Structure 1
């Protein structure tokens, strides 16, 4: 067995923020977390972060002069990354007060963050300023490049390693995660902060989603995002972030830690990717060929068979064609014997480049014993409920352009 196969990538910490606040699983009796946003004469449901998390975000913005100019996407990523580092123990009092630390082996920490659109709000502000005033400030370019997402997370962590930003539409977070896993297994880094962040709730972005004809016709209080329900399309845009503190452990170190720990240890077993060259950049094949490739690759990396997967967290964004294609792909991989199936988009909406990371965080909570609520509408997903203790979960993601990705997370044996 090669060193590559024997290396374990453990999740030391996790941080997230979404329409559920900092939770990954909603209480069974929860009401719809969505709110209404005015878009012209229409009201569009959106998954915006709650008031308490909004206060945290604004407090973070005021914490340092440099933070006041950052896009909301970057700030959401900073919030999630700080929580992940705190859980992992990769922090100091200086870091928590907003001053980067120098005592955490900073050179060994690498950052990899995915975002489909990056600094959406700031870009639109600068562009509007140019149209109205004919000029833009010098900071416009550095504040709106995709690379500034990961670089600010790295700055806040006191990292001296690489800061990598990824954009591959709605599978961006898993692109970041896959890169982290590859670097860790190759010995190019010892610690990684990896995940995704997105703040797309601008009028222009909402108008783009509505122009596609996929936006939900239901009100915010009606559970407007309905994965697996069929027609009509029920896509709902959300904002959020999730970041993971990852570390590489050899087999001896993994076994020694398992003996010492009283808590379960989560391991990333595989990150697979799939692509299909389709004529329409917004479409996908009816049987989700890119999903199938991604799931097969993840299974191969994890060295496990389909029947060893206990549950699936589906990408399932509530679009008729997308949901149906993923369902056919899942049936093809699991030979019709589906494991338990669930989704979190009915609770947080589709957060674009952050969606895969939020789904993975949800999967982690399920592995640690959280009980998901049944989806409160008619959907095929409820035909495969999560009922038994879970050891291994596959998480799917896909996006425009034919990209798909699948990740397998498990409790360490």
Structure 2
């Protein structure tokens, strides 16, 4: 748990970037068009949420842009794309940092703001790991690059390299599907402690391999609905409608004094990351959770406590809600326990872009920012308990995430 900041200091989400089955534009949410396609897997066909062809073109260009990038895992490349977008939106000129640092060290001038990187991923370099393992089983040989390119730490380190970070931390986190909020919570704590001045933080995942899809299918939770039939249906009850997706979302974070902000009428809306709370519970099944979502309750209450925020001040909750009946029900029980009878509006983006595992929390936070900016969201075209349209002005949003092993995280974001 981190201590609240003094009231005159804020952690701003200065810029944000995202890559998902909806593409790279935040405005893509408005159309309400899911990004699912059919994916053959042995004798069956599953729905999956892969990035669209225009993003594939960008990924291919990125891979060819430097010799070192040609071997990088798709997970890393997605993170780099999202991080670049966040940095541009923040107005950071990252490619100049190393040159500026050299110049300032030579002149004994104050160095530029230190940039740190914190990235979460549940599985890390999925594609590269499977490739090198298959190569080993086939030929008996292992490439020298296999180890450094498949460690989890290579995700954040390559994002830092691409951003031109010099001397800043490069931290990778893995806590299953709450991994991105582990990364955001770490960045929040470092900024509050003065251990960094700028952070690129978020989550990334590229799990759409046959082996990973088969793992999810083997759990018995995968959606039976075809890709055109809204296969992921959070809050719809049975059957389970979990659908796997890929993507990344990264945020450019800075600590600023409230006095340094211009008047709201003179600027675009600014998003404040008020807190990140965590909850854990010991459960017998590492793929299950308690019926009343105790770890959800702890995470939400901790996030509210850190921000000094009453439950009534939360206008909407972006649910984790992957479409699994037990998981959806436990989260609703937890929300009712925290908020009582007067619930905030309940929303989800997974019916549009699937469950992106370690990237899902970051993509949900990006979705929350879009709700704050536009004051609207698309209504799901299936029977569900999700709120079809805002019932009040949306000024503060709580975002939930949960992962295997009894861990949960909640982030609170508001607009100023």
TM-score, length basis structure 1? 0.94
- Between 296-305 and 28-37, report the one with greater CA deviation: 28-37
Where structure 2 has 5 or more consecutive residues not aligned to the other structure, the ranges are 102-110
Query: Is 1:316 matched with 2:313?
Result: no
* Distance in structure 1 (CA, Å) of the matches to 2:6 and 2:71: 44
Query: Is 1:389 matched with 2:390?
Result: no
Who is 1:147 aligned against? Answer: 153
Shift of 1:5: 3.2
Query: Is 1:307 matched with 2:312?
Result: yes
What secondary structure is seen at the aligned counterpart in 1 of 2:175?
coil
Shift of 1:336: 2.1
Where structure 1 has 5 or more consecutive residues not aligned to the other structure, the ranges are none
Conserved? CA contact 2:375–2:394, under 8 Å = no
- Between 30-39 and 51-60, report the one with greater CA deviation: 30-39
Q: How does 1:279-290 map to 2 (within 5 A)?
A: 279-290=284-295
Q: Deviations over 1:35-70 (max 9, x none)?
A: 111100111100000111110011100000000000
Shift of 1:107: 6.1
Who is 1:87 aligned against? Answer: 89
Shift of 1:90: 1.0
Who is 1:404 aligned against? Answer: 408
Conserved? CA contact 2:33–2:352, under 8 Å = no
* Distance in structure 1 (CA, Å) of the matches to 2:10 and 2:31: 37
Conserved? CA contact 1:91–1:101, under 8 Å = no
Who is 2:106 aligned against? Answer: none
**Matching residue within 130, 141, 146 for 2:136:** 130
Count of residues in correspondence between the two structures: 403
Conserved? CA contact 1:147–1:165, under 8 Å = yes
Cα RMSD over matched residues?
Answer: 1.7
Conserved? CA contact 2:321–2:348, under 8 Å = yes
* Distance in structure 2 (CA, Å) of the matches to 1:3 and 1:123: 40
**CA distance 1:197–1:139, change in 2 (3 Å):** same
* Distance in structure 1 (CA, Å) of the matches to 2:401 and 2:162: 28
* Distance in structure 2 (CA, Å) of the matches to 1:33 and 1:162: 35
Query: Is 1:186 matched with 2:193?
Result: yes
* Distance in structure 2 (CA, Å) of the matches to 1:241 and 1:282: 23
Shift of 1:257: 3.5
- Between 256-265 and 46-55, report the one with greater CA deviation: 256-265
What secondary structure is seen at the aligned counterpart in 2 of 1:380?
coil
Who is 1:5 aligned against? Answer: 6
* Distance in structure 1 (CA, Å) of the matches to 2:30 and 2:308: 35
* Distance in structure 1 (CA, Å) of the matches to 2:4 and 2:156: 29
Q: Deviations over 1:95-141 (max 9, x none)?
A: 3xxx9753376661000000000000000000000111111101000
Q: Deviations over 1:75-111 (max 9, x none)?
A: 000000000000111126xx3xxx9753376661000
Q: How does 1:172-251 map to 2 (within 5 A)?
A: 172-251=179-258
Query: Is 1:110 matched with 2:111?
Result: no
* Distance in structure 1 (CA, Å) of the matches to 2:342 and 2:124: 39
**CA distance 1:371–1:211, change in 2 (3 Å):** same
Q: How does 1:325-404 map to 2 (within 5 A)?
A: 325-382=330-387, 385-404=389-408
**CA distance 1:392–1:52, change in 2 (3 Å):** same
- Between 192-201 and 105-114, report the one with greater CA deviation: 105-114
* Distance in structure 2 (CA, Å) of the matches to 1:30 and 1:327: 23
